[in-house]
Chains A and B, each alone.
Chain A
Amino acid sequence: MTTFFNTILVGISSGSIYALMSLSLVLVWRSTRVVNFAAAGQAVLSTYLGYEAMSRLHNYWLSLPIAVIAGALISAIVESFVMRPLAKRSKGSPVESIAPVIATLGILGLIRGIAGLVWGNTFLQYTSPLSSKGFMIGHTTIPFSPLNAAIVIGAAIVLAFFAAIFRFTRLGLALRAASFQPEISRLSGIRVDRIRTIGWAFAGAAGALAGALVTPTTYLSPNSLDLLLVSGFVAAVIGGLESLIGAVVGGLVLGVGFAFILQYIGSEVTFSAAFIILIIVLFIRPQGIFGRGGSREA
């Protein structure tokens, strides 16, 4: 029974990371109808910048917001300089739904390459002052550490922040309107382009936080977050790709699912499990848990 609860705790912690990455993908999807495969690259780059900040300031808590702001800026740059011109050029062409995917892959490759040029392909340590030793309850150590707690709390804060923006602010309304009916939004005075860039910036911030929170538990290298991208995508599809809540629930479901597979089957299957879970979701409930009906068309 203890193992069971411990597994759930582990799952919630890693699930929160997936939730953040999934949130990043969903925010981009909602604002521009693009799945941003460059999210892994953007998050890696912002984490490297956080690492740089850390090595100068010697303070993880200062480097964290720096990484997040950097992530938002990188994402906004990617949107304004590559994705927006591309959307205008490929509009109406047969490759309209494929070109953005390829462009994000190009950006992913470019960022990885640049990171490799600047920081090398070695594994760097980006450490957090929080202990990764589990809390003690009575005399037993549970597999849930202060670091895990910070991850869960960080994810919860970000989710609450985005939920509040989307629900209560004019910006949130504009974000929703611009993704839902760009033409009509433009007519009613919303600067759709700018709103989209803001959507991307939010997404970049969420991805950057995911990178900066997960890296202390592993290592940092130009492609250390690739797997996170796949998990984030699977989580987003489980949640329906449209819904912020769905992204988070999807992340948690996937995290707990992975934790059980890890506990009861073995670590080697996790990669394949992501694919199998994805296929099962797409066959059984292609619109995701929180998605509305209709087919999965771009």
Chain B
Amino acid sequence: MKRKSPATRFLISLGVGAFLLIASGHVDELRAYQGAQVAIYAIAIASIVLLTGYSGQISLGHGALMAVGGYAAVIAQIHWHLPYPLTFLIGGIAGALAGYVLGIAAARLRGPYLAGTTLALAVGLPSLANQFHILGGEQGLQFDVGTAPTWVGKDFTQYRWFFWVAVVMALAIFWLLRNLLSTRYGRRWRAVRANPTAAALTGIDIAKAKVLAFTLSSAVAGLSGALFAMLLGLVAPLAFTLTLSFTLVTGAVLAGVSNLGGSIIGAIVLVAIPELSNAVATHLGGSDRVTANLPGVVTSVLLIVTVLLAPNGPKIPRRHK
């Protein structure tokens, strides 16, 4: 496979975007909602792929970083009355700040320690919202992005608009990340992941590279958190559960953890599984119990099987540079 230039990638993104945006006019609200969900999950999973697949760190706490981004975006809207595109940016910046602090701790930890620490974060951080009045407690805070602007046309439904916003953001993020990963930063991260000792011998500052990867990954997670808040219309501790963090890791693993494009597949799988298993559960005449738990069982089995059969993620032809 030949390396594409940033401009080619931009054109591809543009093409995919145009196709998706036109296609969105021909589906119902539920599909538009799910489409937006896929785009947002894809961004969040990309943040894990960046972290795990490229710099070899693991995080079970990215749901918490999404919460940081989401809350920051909402607060920026409520208290600073920023227009919503800027609040997404604020979400990303807040995520980056939190990720920087966490990344300094993370660079000293490996594998299981890092997993455990980020797990504690995932459990601990959302409950902080109950502590501070400004964060709205258990009820959370409303996030109102508003309806579609008039220039996109009449009868433009709410979720279709969310889908547009999410898709445009996702394409922009993927374009940026794809280009970033083919610069020296991307190569450094891969070197750190493949062989830390050899990387250090070639003069790469491992700790610095890891902190940078963590910060950037958290920024992306924060941004996806802000988008997630837009889709839900609110931020609340219950929206950013431990399960969300686990879901993101699952999506990244299912997609092949060292493949950025795979995050889209991972996101589609994550959204499709509950849908499909619901259909199966209904077909089998299952109770609420089945409907509630079948998706979890299916994703978990997929996760275990993927890790067992292909610990490195599904085999995808890799470019050798």
Contact = CB atoms under 8 A, between A and B. Distances in A.
Interface of A: 29, 33-35, 37, 82, 85-86, 89-90, 93-103, 105-110, 112-114, 116-117, 120-121, 222, 226-227, 229-230, 233-234, 237, 268-269, 271-276, 278-279, 282-283, 286, 295-298
Contacts of A34: 112
A298 B289 CA distance: 39
Contacts of A102: 58, 249, 253, 303, 307
Contact of B110 (A93, A99, A110, A298): A298
A274 B64 CA distance: 15
Contacts of A99: 307, 311
Contacts of A100: 112
Contacts of B117: 275, 278-279, 282
A121 B293 contact: yes
Contacts of B300: 106-110, 112-113
Given A94-B194, A121-B293, A297-B110, A274 B304 contact: no
B112 A117 contact: no
B108 A109 contact: no
B239 interface: no
Nearest to B195: A94
Contact of B112 (A97, A110, A278): A97
20 contacts: A89-B311, A97-B110, A97-B112, A106-B300, A106-B307, A110-B301, A112-B296, A116-B292, A116-B293, A116-B296, A117-B297, A120-B289, A227-B123, A233-B119, A237-B116, A268-B130, A272-B127, A272-B131, A296-B110, A298-B111
Contacts of B125: 272, 275
A117 B290 contact: yes
A298 B52 CA distance: 16
A230 B249 contact: no
A269 B124 CA distance: 8
B193 interface: yes
B119 to A, nearest CB: 6
Contacts of A298: 110-113
Contacts of A112: 293, 296, 300
B89 interface: no
Given A89-B308, A282-B117, A105 B60 contact: yes
Interface residues of B, number: 48
Nearest to B120: A275
| A-B pairs with lowest CB-CB distance, top 8 | A97-B111, A109-B300, A275-B124, A113-B297, A116-B293, A298-B111, A35-B112, A106-B303
A282 B109 contact: yes
Contacts of A297: 110-111
A117 B293 contact: yes
B304 A103 contact: yes
Interface string B233-261: 00000000010001001100100010000
A297 B127 CA distance: 30
A117 B304 CA distance: 19
Contacts of A101: 58, 60, 111-112, 115
B278 to A, nearest CB: 14
Contacts of A226: 123, 242
B207 to A, nearest CB: 11
B276 interface: no
A116 B297 CA distance: 9
A109 B304 CA distance: 10
B249 A105 contact: yes
A47 to B, nearest CB: 17
Given A95-B311, A237-B116, A105 B124 contact: no
A203 to B, nearest CB: 14
Contacts of A89: 308, 311
A112 to B, nearest CB: 6
Given A113-B293, A113-B294, A275-B123, A94 B193 contact: yes
A237 B300 CA distance: 27
Nearest to B58: A98
B105 interface: yes
A234 B120 contact: yes
A54 to B, nearest CB: 21
A97 B307 CA distance: 12
Given A35-B112, A86-B311, A237-B113, A109 B119 contact: no
A138 B297 CA distance: 53
A72 B115 CA distance: 24
Interface in B117-135: 117, 119-121, 123-125, 127-128, 130-131
